[in-house]
Amino acid sequence: MAIKRCSADVAFSKAARMARNNTCEYCGKSDGQIEACHIWSRRHRSVRWDTLNIVVMCSHHHRMMTENPIMFTQWLEGYVGQGYLDILNEKRQRIVKVTAKDRKDIARHYRQEIKHMEAGPHDLVSYQ
């Protein structure tokens, strides 16, 4: 069963793609369908909206990596490094409860980040 997307997911995805210039981090493609690809799935709320937990890929490579988790892990180890993945894994293990108000705050945060990026160069700041 698919995990429902909320307004926080939509804003987070758009902000992540903008921060990476709508370019696939695997192949460099910037045309076609560019998607935010979670390293740890969205069911892990502690990292669901964390910028450390996202890479941007074309739809082809997103699907390829989803269907080949060992390949994805090996690519990530070379791309971001094992230390990065260790930090992300520690964050993932936290238990986090997210309320409707929290989701609204997260969406508001990422919509504001999008406005900053539209105004000029701006590094994406993760929600908390």
Tell whether 22 is covered by a domain. yes
Tell whether 53 is covered by a domain. yes
pLDDT for position 54: 98
Tell whether 125 is covered by a domain. no
pLDDT tens column, 54-103: 999 999 999 999 999 999 999 999 999 999 999 999 999 999 999 999 99
Tell whether 124 is covered by a domain. no
| Cβ atoms 40, 87 nearer than 8 A | no
Tell whether 1 is covered by a domain. no
pLDDT tens column, 100-112: 999 999 999 999 9
pLDDT for position 46: 97
Query: The domain containing residue 46 runs over which residues?
Result: 14-114
Tell whether 3 is covered by a domain. no
| Total number of domains constituting the chain | 1
Tell whether 126 is covered by a domain. no
Tell whether 66 is covered by a domain. yes
Place of tokens 């269907």: 67
Q: State the virtual CA torsion across 51, 52, 54, 55 in degrees, nearest 10.
A: 110
* Helix intervals (H) in the chain: 7-19, 59-67, 69-79, 82-92, 100-119
- pTM of the entire structure? 0.93
